Amino acid sequence: MKSIYKAPLRRLTVKNLEINEGAIKNIEYDNPIIRKDLIFYRNWAGAYISFEHETRLPDYTEATDYIRDTLERRPEVKEPYPTCPYVSDEEFEYSHEISKETFKTLKKYYKKLNKEKKRSR
């Protein structure tokens, strides 16, 4: 049996940016929910893996680091500023158990879906 978890997917966006003499003085973020119940499983190392994205998604700290690093490396970036999807560790909730066969089927389904999305781009 495999445990399934749910968590909202959020998008970290820059709400307000203050730059002083080419250096970032202050960043205010907004983090709206873009998907309410994304489903996850835990891998052998204990990381939450998204079925849909086939990977571990960044947490809040990693998302803020990404945005800050991007803005510091490229100070000429203007609006719209970079964004980053993330999942908060505190928001994961246990959902239910599924069999190993169902788990494998679900992984295959999302892998096929992602391949089709990539082809259509």
pLDDT per residue as tens digits for the range 29-85 = 999 999 999 999 999 999 999 999 999 999 999 999 999 998 888 877 777 888 999
Continuous segment of H or E residues that includes residue 109 = helix 100-120
Whether residue 3 has pLDDT greater than 90: yes
pLDDT digit string, tens, across residues 80-119 = 888 999 999 999 999 999 999 999 999 999 999 888 888 8
Q: The pTM is what?
A: 0.84
**Counting beta carbons within 10 angstroms of the beta carbon of residue 95, is it exposed (0 to 12), middle (13 to 18) or buried (19 or more)?**
middle
Kindly give the residue spans of alpha helices, DSSP state H, lying in 48-87. 60-73
